[in-house]
Amino acid sequence: MLKNNVIFSSLGGVFALALGLMGAEMGASAGEFTVKKQMIEDRKAVFATVESADLLLARARIGGTLAALSVDEGSMVEADQEIAVVGDAKLALQIQAIQAKVQSLVAERKKADTDLNRARELKRSGTIAQAKLDAAETALRVVDRNLASLQAERQVIEQQAREGAVLAPGSGRVLEVKATTGAVVLPGEVIATIAAEAYFLRMSLPERHARFLKEGDMVLVGPRGVQAASNEHLRQGQVVQVYPRMEQGRVVADVEADGLEGYLVGERTLVYVETGAREVFVVPEAALHDRFGLTFVTLTDGTEVVVERGRPVTGGIEILSGLRDGDVVKLP
């Protein structure tokens, strides 16, 4: 019996020592955080609209009927790509008429060349005067000039026919097609509107924030959509232009940011703009725990304090109320 008590006593001492070591280890691993005020940037979320840096207009260069249309809204095009064809039946008729005149002049030239050769032979034999030979040479030169003039006129008409091809003035996405196949179009009429590939964000801020905004400022751009996002899903953008004119009490600015290639022109997204700085309490998120719909922090003396959680900021979570400067918070 005494032996058993000794054994149990020894085991109890071992367990007590182990528990003590565990408690010491837990106490050593537990951290502390001293609450103090710090300055953070105050940012305002505003909606920005995706815009194209340039809107390109694909116009018809000649009048006629739209014979073919190879693009639709949303189509991607390259610079100088043929997107439509305008046909004018009168051009083909004019080319046929000029070709007939050319054939007639070719026959006239053949006759004038024959007359000139005959006149030269007769002149050598002294049968005709020099004036007759000069007249034959002049007649041949006139036919040659008329033939060259008709050929140039035919080239002009052929170039007009080639200009029936409507070309994309630059690379981008087709926003709007303003004509349909078979429609009559005039020279200079817009066939399609194309958004250049370079996109940017245009935002509008209330007048009271105008003094905080300047070119070169960095902003945070949210992911695609209009829902608020956490910090890790934000990306940086830069203000590249602030317009010097107010519109309905708001200042307009343009922002450049990466990753806008897949957006639609006119699509909205959230942009977070700095509107000043303020002092706040920030604690690590690990120090917060929720219970019964309330948020608590534990002080180093074991007291649990109810706090009001704010938004995530750099370094942790903003605390709106419940803590004072100098409080020491226990970290797990």
Q: Which CATH architecture has domain 56-88+164-195?
A: Beta Barrel (2.40)
Task: Count the Cβ atoms, other than its own, within 10 Å of residue 239.
Answer: 20
Q: What's the pLDDT tens digit per position in 74-95?
A: 899 999 999 999 999 899 899 9
Q: At what angle do helices 89-124 and 130-162 cross, to 10 degrees?
A: 160
Phi and psi at 291, nearest 5°, equal: -155, 130
Q: What is the pLDDT of residue 16?
A: 38
**What phi, psi does 268 have (nearest 5°)?**
-105, 150
Question: How close are the terminal C-alpha atoms of the chain, in Å?
Answer: 45
Question: What is the torsional sign of CA 214, 215, 216, 222?
Answer: positive
- Is 44-53+196-276 a domain of CATH 2.40.30.170? yes
Top mean-pLDDT range of 121-130, 163-172, 230-239: 163-172
The amino acid sitting at 313 is V
User: Is the pLDDT at 20 greater than 50, yes or no?
Assistant: no
Q: What is the H or E stretch that residue 30 is in?
A: none
Long-range contacts of 247-250 (CB under 8 A, 24+ apart): 247/204, 249/206, 249/207, 250/204, 250/205, 250/206, 250/207
Mean pLDDT of 58-68: 94
Confidence of residue 212 (pLDDT cuts 50, 70, 90): confident
> What percentage of the chain reaches a pLDDT higher than 90?
51
pLDDT, mean over the chain: 85
> For the ranges 18-27, 128-137, 270-279, which has the lowest average pLDDT?
18-27
The answer, yes or no, to whether residue 208 has pLDDT greater than 90, is no
Distance, CA of 228 to CA of 248 (rounded, Å): 26
Residue for token digits 């008429």? 97
**Beta-bridge partner residues of 220:** 236, 272
- What are the sequence ranges of the domains in the chain? 30-41+280-331, 44-53+196-276, 56-88+164-195, 91-149
Separation of alpha carbons 202 and 49, rounded Å: 5
Global pTM exceeds 0.85: no
- Residue-wise pLDDT for 144-153, tens only, equals 999 999 999 9
CA of residue 307 relative to chain centroid, distance: 44
Cα-based distances in Å from 48 to 203, 230, 261: 4, 18, 15
Rg for the chain, CA atoms, rounded: 43
> Does residue 233 carry a pLDDT above 80?
no
- In CATH, the architecture of 30-41+280-331 is Beta Barrel (2.40)
